[in-house]
Amino acid sequence: MRTAKKRNRKTSSSDRNFKRYFEKKFLSTVRKYKLLSKKDKIAVAFSGGKDSSVALYVTVKYFPNVTAIAIDEGIPGYREETLEYARKFCREHKIKLAEYSFRKEFGMELPEIIRKTGGRPCTTCGVLRRWLLNKKLSGYDKVVTGHNMDDEAEAVLMNLIKANLEEQAKLGPVSGARRHRNFTPRVKPLYLLREEEIIRYAHLVGIRVLKKSCPYRKKAFRLSIRKELAKLEKEMPGIKLQIIKSHLKALPKIRAYFSSSAGFSHCKTCGQPSANRKCRACMIIEKINN
Ligand code: SF4
Ligand code: ZN
């Protein structure tokens, strides 16, 4: 009995230390990369999943002016549950929640959009979601996203395999290769935290980790990269951090190249940043309306 009590005490003190470590890492990442300030009007892109829930929870704990933003893409058997959780989470933590939907904005939901346009689910979803977020967030100084170290290492590898340097230039603790007056900077305070650390923190502060994942996810190329990277991390612990560090080293040069390359301006249809006369979202919207 006494041993069990002792073990419990030990566990809770290690939990307290872990929470302290986690929040310190969050704050030091914010400071190191100048991600947020107390004066900022902050939006948190909130899906109801563990990463964005943790990002929202810690941002609200340390910054005063925070609104959660949820987007309903209309993904059947998935988004209803995460949205319901997002609403409950915001009610319980007294956080302002603004909701937008593909149906309201584009007249139809993701499955119908894919059928009509022939686009890939994740590409279409990502392009439209980013466009919608950008459109609705012009009054905010920063948008916090829940990307963690695992996400970032996967993205770096994916871009390398596809030789997609332009996308590579957009990665990093502050997304985007260039600043643009019509683009609210996306910042990633969980950038240096691993997925397993986020899960542990979520459990400790009572954030539900939903088991369900998006039905389109299995079709994503990212999943294969994730599996391979997990294997590599087991064989060579720290490889994900090493990928991030290598990327950060190369980033200034890649960004310098893309910020000096000609042609970057804005979409002539919607005014959002785009390298072409018409942005990818406007091309999809055109197909939707035809
Ligand atoms: Fe959208 Fe793909 Fe993410 Fe599903 S997995 S929410 S389709 S980007
Ligand atoms: Zn456009």
- Calculate how far, in angstroms, residue 122's C-alpha sits from the geometric centre of ligand 1: 5
271 C-beta closer than 6 A to ligand 1: no
125 C-beta closer than 6 A to ligand 1: yes
255 C-beta closer than 6 A to ligand 1: no
- What is the distance between the alpha carbons of residues 247 and 155, in angstroms, rounded to a whole number? 11
Atom 6 of ligand 1, nearest CA residue: 214
CB atoms within 10 A of CB 164: 13
48 C-beta closer than 6 A to ligand 1: no
What does the pLDDT read at residue 97? Answer: 97
Tell me the ligand closest to 286's alpha carbon: 2
* HEC assignment per residue over the chain: CHHHHHHHHHHHHHHHHHHHHHHHHHHHHHHHCCCCCCCCCEEEECCCCHHHHHHHHHHHHHCCCEEEEEEECCCCCCHHHHHHHHHHHHHHHCCEEEEEEHHHHHCCCHHHHHHHHCCCHHHHHHHHHHHHHHHHCCCCCEEECCCCHHHHHHHHHHHHHCCCHHHHHHCCCECCCCCCCCCCCEECCCCCCCHHHHHHHHHHHCCCCCCCCCCCHHHCHHHHHHHHHHHHHHHCCCHHHHHHHHHHHHHHHHHHHHHHCCCCEECCCCCCEECCCCCHHHHHHHHHHC
* HEC assignment per residue over 201-217: HHHHHCCCCCCCCCCCH
**Bridging pattern class, strands 66-72 and 42-45:** parallel
Q: What does the pLDDT profile of the chain (290 residues) look like in tens digits?
A: 444 455 555 568 899 999 999 999 999 999 999 999 999 999 999 999 999 999 999 999 999 999 999 999 999 989 999 999 999 999 999 999 999 999 999 999 999 999 999 999 989 999 999 999 989 988 899 999 999 999 999 999 999 999 999 889 989 999 875 666 667 899 999 999 999 999 999 999 999 888 778 888 766 688 889 999 999 999 999 999 999 999 999 999 988 887 765 555 788 999 888 878 899 999 999 999 98
What does the pLDDT read at residue 180? Answer: 65
- Calculate how far, in angstroms, residue 279's C-alpha sits from the geometric centre of ligand 1: 20
Name the token pair of 214.
């998006």
127 C-beta closer than 6 A to ligand 1: no
- What is the distance between the alpha carbons of residues 189 and 146, in angstroms, rounded to a whole number? 8
What does the pLDDT read at residue 15? Answer: 92
126 C-beta closer than 6 A to ligand 1: yes
Do residues 189 and 143 touch, judged by C-beta distance below 8 A?
A: no
What does the pLDDT read at residue 1? Answer: 46
- What is the distance between the alpha carbons of residues 129 and 73, in angstroms, rounded to a whole number? 8
Atom 2 of ligand 1, nearest CA residue: 122
What does the pLDDT read at residue 275? Answer: 77
121 C-beta closer than 6 A to ligand 1: yes
Atom of ligand 1 nearest to the CA of 215: 4
Atom 3 of ligand 1, nearest CA residue: 122
Residue located via tokens 């994900």 = 240
Do residues 219 and 121 touch, judged by C-beta distance below 8 A?
A: yes
Longest CA span, the chain: 72
- Calculate how far, in angstroms, residue 19's C-alpha sits from the geometric centre of ligand 1: 30
Atom of ligand 1 nearest to the CA of 125: 1
Do residues 56 and 145 touch, judged by C-beta distance below 8 A?
A: no
**Nearest partner of 255 among 159, 187, 166, 155, judged by Cα:** 166
- Report the alpha-carbon angle 113-52-233, nearest 5: 100
What does the pLDDT read at residue 214? Answer: 87
222 C-beta closer than 6 A to ligand 1: no
